[in-house]
Every structure is written in C-alpha cells, then in structure tokens.
Amino acid sequence: MDTIEHANRDQIALWNGCAGRGWVEAQESLDRLFEPFEELIVRAVANAKAQRVLDIGCGTGATTLAVARQLGPKGTAVGIDVSEPMIALAKQRAELEGSSARFLTADAQTHAFDDQSFDLIVSRFGVMFFGDCVRAFANLRRAAAKGGELKAIVWRAPKDNPFMTAAERAAAPFFPEMPARKPDEPGQFAFADRNRVYSILEKSGWTEIDIRPLDVVCTLPEHELDDYIARLGPLGRVLAQLDAQKRAQIVAAVRAAFDPYVNGAEVRFTAACWMLSGRA
C-alpha cells in the first residue's frame, strides 16, 4: 500500500472511530459554534447563483442542509464525507427536515464524480484531510462545471488559533506521549501555509485563485465547555480511552487554560482562517 493510500486509510479510520463519534455526540453544540461559517458558505452560494452545490467533508450535514434551504426545490445540494456515523446522522437530519439534500459516504479525493456536475464546490473545514491534496483538488476540479467555483474555509496556523490548541497544551504534562501535530500532515492545520495552499490549487488546475485571511468570532455556552474539551481534538481522542473518573479529573485540570476565553455564561474566541477561492 502506498503512502497516499495509507494516509487516507488512517483518516478514514479516525473519522469512523472516536473522532467521528465525538462530532456526532457534540453535533448541536458544534453547529452553533460554527454557525458564522455556515452563513458565509450560504452567502457564497447565493452570490454565485449556483444551482448544483457539492459540500466537501460535510460531517453531520449542517452546511449541506443550509445550502439546500438556500437553493430551494430546484437546486441540488450534495454532501460527501468519509465518516459513516456522521453521514448517518446527516441523512437522519435531512429526513426529519424534509430536505432535498443528499449525502454520500465516500472519499472526495478518489470518488468518481460525474464530470462537470457542480456549479459550486464548498467546504467548511473539510478539505484539510487528504493524503494527496493535488490529486484531491484535481478530482474536485473535474467535478466542477466549466467556470464553476470553489469556496472553502480552512484553519490558519496553530499559533493564530490558541483556543484550538489550549486543551492539548494544558494536558501535555498528563500525556507526554501524546503525538505533536506535524505541519502539512492531514489534519486541522494542514492548510496553515498560504503559499503551500496556493501551490496545491495551482497544480490541480484551478485558476483565479484567491486566499485571504478570515477572522470570525465564535461563541459557545460556558456550560458546554467541559464536553467540548472531553470529546474533540487530539485530547478528546486520548480521553476516550480512559474511564469516566479519570477523564473528569483531567478535564477539570485542563479547564483553567480556557479561563481567558470565558466571560460569564459565554465562551468567546476568534477563529483565524483562510477563505480559499478558485475557478475551474
């Protein structure tokens, strides 16, 4: 098995395991937390006057469902993700809502999309996990109609997002063996380097490439903070292997690292991201 397939295999296993389950369990909280980004994606759909939209790394479906509402009955909104538990929840939500949104459990890097089948390809934090990014974005370009657009939101560097790394930094004394994040490896901050991202899009055939900083204020209720710490990110994956008592002890110890972000009943931080744009 080559290294590309191996990288994808690891990501597929991760998102069908504890990471996917964590997002399913925290779905309502995460949807509220990232709602500002959902609104940006929906606005991009409206501005593009798109009728056929593909949502990459759609997770539990919030953005795809919002896009489907924007498009109305004449439009097509399709979400794709490697995570079976997340897609299962997305399908349940679509059924309950009576939405026309469709969901696929597949790897967007290699999935055989129909050529030129989408006017707009969007993503909210879903394109940073490919084993071969050039191959993946070339595959997405083939799925885009001639003149079709790409709009994707990704994280900037860890140093620009201290809230996102606070838990693992505070937990380091408890878990010295917890692996450090590696630049450019598939994961949350894989697209931190603007020049690298530009090169990926250029090599995969996209034109009119634009990568601009995007800083968005995000909030969550203070009473949801413990669950956020316990379920998500590298620390959440480690804590999932512990018993409830030990998990609660570590969360209580780590929680102090979030004090700078707590204001009464609200947790508030600024998410430092890139907005990627391109044209097929």
Digitized pLDDT (tens) for each residue of the chain, 280 residues in all: 344 454 578 889 989 998 899 899 999 999 999 999 999 999 999 999 999 999 999 999 999 999 999 999 999 999 999 999 999 999 999 999 999 999 999 999 999 999 999 999 999 999 999 999 999 999 999 999 999 999 999 999 999 999 999 998 999 888 877 777 777 789 999 999 999 999 999 999 999 999 999 999 999 999 999 999 888 888 888 888 888 888 888 888 899 999 999 999 999 999 999 999 999 9
Query: Does any domain span residue 263?
Result: no
Query: Does any domain span residue 146?
Result: yes
Query: Does any domain span residue 21?
Result: yes
Residue 175, φ and ψ in degrees, nearest 5: -130, 70
Query: What's the CATH number where 45 sits?
Result: 3.40.50.150
In the block, which residue shows the tokens 């994961």? 187
Is residue 66 within 8 Å of residue 41, measured between CB atoms? yes
Query: Does any domain span residue 205?
Result: yes
Nearest partner of 64 among 91, 83, 88, 84, judged by Cα: 91
Virtual CA dihedral for 12, 14, 16, 20, nearest 10 degrees? Answer: -130
For residue 43, the enclosing domain spans 3-158+181-217+272-279
Determine if residue 50 is left, alpha or beta; phi over 0 gives left, psi from -120 to 50 gives alpha, anything else beta.
Answer: beta
Query: Does any domain span residue 148?
Result: yes
Query: Does any domain span residue 200?
Result: yes
Report in angstroms the alpha-carbon separations of 51 from 10, 42, 118, 260: 34, 12, 8, 43
Query: Does any domain span residue 223?
Result: no
Number of domains in the chain: 1
**CA geometry: angle 159, 164, 167, nearest 5 deg:** 110
Query: Does any domain span residue 245?
Result: no
